[in-house]
């Protein structure tokens, strides 16, 4: 029973666990990578899409040139509330916004960035066209997406463990969405459909994911992502049992802890 209506649902409970557990588990290395790449660009104004709880925002605020303007947006107000509560090294303009209908004028920004958000856009070409529209000529659109789930150890083990609890109706959120847009050819096609005339530069970046215990990694995925909603849709009382099953599978594969596994993403850059 896929639940596409909940695929982008990051309510208060999910947002809090996302920030406390999932951000350090898998997002921080790529946030630094993306911010370093952006800081090398001659960008006086940067728009961030799908900022989530602000892991990239905080890195950008610390690394962008003095005086550079930073605007961070997300569709989910609960995520933005957590992001704003974390604080930033410089002033940031926070806006609730839909990436497919951005509330900004044409050619408003020197760079547009997005960390692990493109997979959630219902119409990716439309969202990319919006990013292109608000970019100034010569500006850069820089984003990353997760590679296939088999290249991301913890996500793969958790997804299979939870699916095994519901063999007639397996929850496949992790495989379907976060890890469902890892094709360089598809990304390039969508960017062309969005009106970009140049070819994207797409780089595979591998890093390490670490957790003190298998349970903390399982908790991050099962309760700090919309996988939580898929589990509860199948069994309203089954969330903790699913988390424990995922933890046991992680322990069987990686040991009792601390645990480490591979994470892998595609980093995409294209100019307008």
pLDDT of residue 4: 43
Q: Please tell me whether the peptide bond between 10 and the residue prior to it is cis, using omega within 30 degrees of 0.
A: no
CB atoms within 10 A of CB 223: 22
Low-confidence stretches of the chain (pLDDT beneath 70) = 1-13
The conformation of residue 66, written as its DSSP 8-state character, comes to T
What pLDDT does 114 receive? 98
Query: Using CA atoms, how far apart are residues 123 and 54, in angstroms rounded to an integer?
Result: 23
Q: Residue 1: its pLDDT value, please?
A: 37
CA distance 205 to 163: 28
Could you give the domains of the chain?
4-271 (3.40.50.150)
Evaluate the CA torsion angle 165, 169, 160, 154 in order and state its sign. Answer: negative
Say what the pLDDT of residue 12 is. Answer: 54
Q: How far apart are the first and last CA of the chain?
A: 40
The pLDDT of residue 164: 98
């Amino acid at each position: 029973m896929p639940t596409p209506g909940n695929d982008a649902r990051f309510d208060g409970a999910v947002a809090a666990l996302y920030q406390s557990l999932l951000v350090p588990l898998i997002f921080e290395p790529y946030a630094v990578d993306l911010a370093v790449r952006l800081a090398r660009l001659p960008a006086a104004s940067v728009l961030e899409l799908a900022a989530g709880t602000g892991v990239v925002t905080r890195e950008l605020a610390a690394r962008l040139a003095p005086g550079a303007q930073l605007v961070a947006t997300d569709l989910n107000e609960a995520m933005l509330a957590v992001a704003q509560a974390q604080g930033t090294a410089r002033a940031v303009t926070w806006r609730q916004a839909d990436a497919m209908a951005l509330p900004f004028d044409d050619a408003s920004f020197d760079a547009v960035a997005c960390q692990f958000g493109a997979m959630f856009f219902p119409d990716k070409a439309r969202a990319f066209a919006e990013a292109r529209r608000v970019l100034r000529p010569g500006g850069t659109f820089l984003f990353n997406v997760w590679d296939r789930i088999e290249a991301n150890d913890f996500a793969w083990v958790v997804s299979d463990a939870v699916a095994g609890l519901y063999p007639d109706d397996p929850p496949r959120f992790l495989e379907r969405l976060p890890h469902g847009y890892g094709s360089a050819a598809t990304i390039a096609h969508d960017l062309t459909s969005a009106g970009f005339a140049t070819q994207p530069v797409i780089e595979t970046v591998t890093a390490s994911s670490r957790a003190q215990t298998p349970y903390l990694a399982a908790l991050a995925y099962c309760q700090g992502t919309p996988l939580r909603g898929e589990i509860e849709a199948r069994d309203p009382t089954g969330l903790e049992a699913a988390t424990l099953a995922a933890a046991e599978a992680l322990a069987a594969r990686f040991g009792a802890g601390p645990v480490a596994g591979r994470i892998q993403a595609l980093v995409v850059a294209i100019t307008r």
